[in-house]
Amino acid sequence: MLRPVRQQIRVRGIVQGVGFRPFVYNLAGKLGLAGYVLNSSAGVLIEVEGEPSQIERFVRELSENPPPLAQIEEIAVASLTPAGSAAFEIRESLDEPGHLAPVSPDVSTCLDCLRDVQTPGNRRFGYAFTNCTNCGPRYTITRMIPYDRPLTTMACFAMCERCLREYEDPTNRRFHAQPNACPDCGPALTLSIEQARELLREGRIVAIKGLGGFHLVCDPFNDAAVRQLRERKKRSDKPFALMVPDVAAAEKLCFASDAERAALTSIRRPIVILERRSDSPLSPALAPGNNTLGVMLPYTPLHHLLFDESCRALVMTSGNLSEEPIVTGNREAAARLQSVADAFLFHNRDIHTRVDDSVARVFAGQERILRRSRGYAPHPVTLGFPVAEILACGAELKNTFCLTKDHYAFLSQHIGDLENYETLVFYRETLDRMKQLFRIAPAAVAYDLHPQYLSTKLALEMTDCRQIGVQHHHAHIASCMAENGIEGKAIGVAFDGTGYGTDGKIWGGEFLIADFAGFERRAHFRYIALAGGDRAVREPWRLALSYLLDTFGAHVDSLDLPLFRRVASKKIATVRSMIERRINTVETSAAGRLFDAVASIVGVRDEVNFEAQAAIELETCALPGVDAVYPFELEEDVLWQIDVRPMIERIIRDVLAAKPTGWISAAFHNTVAAIIGEVCLRLRSAEGIDSVCLSGGTFQNVYLVERTVAGLRANGFQVFLHSKVPPNDGGISLGQAVIANATIL
């Protein structure tokens, strides 16, 4: 017999809360190895002793066949002196100061637990809090690492004898499942499932406490209920999300590709944007003016229990009033949602961290995140280089912040628009928790250059660390580069609605040559007047008027446009005077504002109720099969200006000729794609760079992205898009962080 050897194995990555210790325990037993395994604040620490060949096999199995939810990033092996151990054990967790271990996001109910919930006679039949090592709450209940029950909101629920036996049995899938519980010892509902179903059948609105907060729920086939929810929630047009029991139910309401089905059924269970079937019997108030729906599948046993043969879909929207954070506490819900909900379905398991549902869309067969929250946060973006301890404060809209350490970038869950006190409190509480959870003490803070952003003001209050201002669109491009592993220079195309420029103007239609260390602005859309600031964003007809005046000057009076009949002449005269005299007016190059202007010119929408509404509806009406491209000009200089006045002139001609709105929309989108292609060709000729990064909220437009990517690739460019973080402002904190890191270096 060979002399035994002993090795220490450190495993880093998502290895806590995923059944890793039970897996290691059983694997060691199968291979006849002695030693121990424990959770540490740096990951998982293992020592094994036995025959060398069995230890080699042990390490290979760790690497090649880990538990389904584990994501191993590193396995470090070191030799030790044999200690003569006779058995293998799971030891108490170890706190290693200064080290961190990523925390698992919350995981949707596994098939085994769902079978328990749905099987009569099973002791967890109908139990809404069933879970095991392969599923259930993680981030939302975790107070501290290591991930152990006393450090979660399950600490107050003492396991009954049967649950404790499962928890301590290495052969049971609930072995060391920290949220393990049953009806005898675990959390409980205040309202029965049947009572909740009956209320929903009656057309009532029910506030239901879920995993990361409350949902407001009603029957999506009941038009009166949906409209009442809109009125009470103060949400006029923004689409509501749907939850359906399975993919078959989703496909009765929407079309779904294989990749979209995969996104729907993934363990993360995001809301997936799907094309709506025109013949679905859903309330038209569900997503006005939109041919897509946000659809998700159940991700907790409670959700599964709500559905039966008479209930095949539910409106499932965030439990909040418009623009406020999602509500998490029972008392908070009773106070803040009493004017919205007819009834409440509470439970008594505390939510430590509020987390909204994530939103994804599939493009080119790949899931791409539009809102990164439940199921994804706080899983880090792993970088290909070490980073200092940095806080990046993010933007104003769709805010996330980012904390970095080692080679990890931890993005917060979706915080929302930093426009009210409640959201600011949510921001601060989440920041404090993540700094504590991951033991990060930032040496630098990165922030957007816009002086009025609350996130910027927060950063400038942090006088105990280095403050680094980052230009908004540079952050967009750096974010795309970081998640795609690009460290050299790239052509960056940053299209969005608003970003503070280094010249004090509002940027948003930008072509950059960028790396993490800096950028050069090489081209942009011609500036136009933004009359009334944020008022112009809410009233796209103002932007239409700016483009018309820029294109036609005084001759605009001779145009017999429908726009001038839809908007009161007095309003038009006032705004025209503001533009011509530059009163309460700034200049903008934003692509998002161009989309708004065209939407108004063609009669799609003159006023909006939520961000990007006009652009979304303009994309929705675009006809397939249109290849036309409008003319445009490039004014060449050191900094090129893209002149779209020739395009506006042709669009006006088509509007006056009563050309179909969908045809004009398609040609407009084709033109924007052609502009991107032409500018990138010229930049490649000048710089020798063929990598193009597309970032910014405008690139959530699938019609535009399809044509842009196809055109660039046809010309030999390598095109990089977002998938791990949103292309919108929800992703720029990652870019701010890597730019700040480069600045420090």
Domain count, the chain: 2
* pTM (predicted TM-score): 0.94
Do residue 73 and residue 198 come from a single domain? no
CB-CB contact of 298 with 109 (8 Å):
yes
657 occurs within a structural domain? no
DSSP letter (8 states) at residue 376: T
Do residue 59 and residue 201 come from a single domain? no
- pLDDT score, position 640: 95
Over its C-alpha atoms, the chain yields an Rg (Å, rounded) of 27
The strand ranges marked E within 536-683 are 585-588, 633-635, 640-643
**Segment (H or E) for 411:** strand 402-411
Q: Report residue 164 as tokens.
A: 């404790």
- pLDDT score, position 454: 94
357 occurs within a structural domain? yes
Closest by Cα among 630, 672, 624, 673 to 651: 630
Distance in angstroms (rounded) separating the CA atoms of residues 114 and 141: 21
Distance in angstroms (rounded) separating the CA atoms of residues 646 and 631: 6
Out of 363, 397, 421, pick the residue that ends a domain.
Answer: 363
DSSP letter (8 states) at residue 172: S
How many CA atoms within 13 Å lie on the side-chain side of 436? 11
Q: Say if residue 540 is preceded by a cis peptide, omega within 30 of 0.
A: no
Distance in angstroms (rounded) separating the CA atoms of residues 370 and 391: 22
Do residue 82 and residue 209 come from a single domain? no
DSSP helix/strand/coil, 8? strand
Distance in angstroms (rounded) separating the CA atoms of residues 725 and 723: 6
Q: Report residue 270 as tokens.
A: 């995001």
With a cut of 70, list the residues of the chain below it in pLDDT: 1
The range of the structural domain enclosing residue 358 comes to 193-363
Q: Which residues pair with 448 in a beta bridge?
A: 470
Do residue 201 and residue 61 come from a single domain? no
For β-strands 366-371 and 381-392, DSSP reports them as: unpaired
Vertex 457: Cα angle to 453 and 461 (nearest 5): 170
303 occurs within a structural domain? yes
CB-CB contact of 282 with 227 (8 Å):
no
- pLDDT score, position 16: 82
421 occurs within a structural domain? no
- pLDDT score, position 70: 87
Strand order of the β-sheet with 444-448 is 402-411, 381-392, 444-448, 466-470
Task: Give the domain CATH number at 39.
Answer: 3.30.70.100
Vertex 616: Cα angle to 416 and 552 (nearest 5): 115
669 occurs within a structural domain? no
Closest by Cα among 733, 47, 620 to 372: 733
The identity of residue 384, as a single letter, is: G
- pLDDT score, position 637: 78
DSSP letter (8 states) at residue 136: B
Do residue 82 and residue 198 come from a single domain? no
Out of 310, 343, 363, pick the residue that ends a domain.
Answer: 363
Out of 310, 345, 363, pick the residue that ends a domain.
Answer: 363
**Segment (H or E) for 345:** strand 343-345
- Which residues, at least 6 apart from 217, have a Cβ–Cβ distance to it below 8 Å? 200, 205, 206, 207, 208, 306, 314, 315, 316, 317
Do residue 83 and residue 231 come from a single domain? no
CB-CB contact of 315 with 226 (8 Å):
yes
544 occurs within a structural domain? no
DSSP string, 496-565: EEEEE-TTSSEEEEEEEEEETTEEEEEEEEPPEEEETTHHHHH-HHHHHHHHHHHHHGGGGGG---THHH
DSSP helix/strand/coil, 15? coil
DSSP helix/strand/coil, 631? coil
Do residue 72 and residue 204 come from a single domain? no
In our burial notation (b when 16+ CB lie closer than 10 A, e otherwise), range 272-282 reads bbbebeeeeeb
312 occurs within a structural domain? yes
DSSP string, 117-130: HHSTTSTTTT-TT-
Do residue 205 and residue 76 come from a single domain? no
597 occurs within a structural domain? no
Distance in angstroms (rounded) separating the CA atoms of residues 109 and 523: 49
Task: Give the domain CATH number at 337.
Answer: 3.90.870.40
- Which residues, at least 6 apart from 734, have a Cβ–Cβ distance to it below 8 Å? 381, 392, 402, 409, 411, 478, 479, 482, 483, 725
Q: Say if residue 380 is preceded by a cis peptide, omega within 30 of 0.
A: no
- pLDDT score, position 1: 55
Angle between the N-to-C axes of helices 645-656 and 661-687, in degrees from 0 to 180, rounded to the nearest 10: 170
Distance in angstroms (rounded) separating the CA atoms of residues 19 and 403: 26
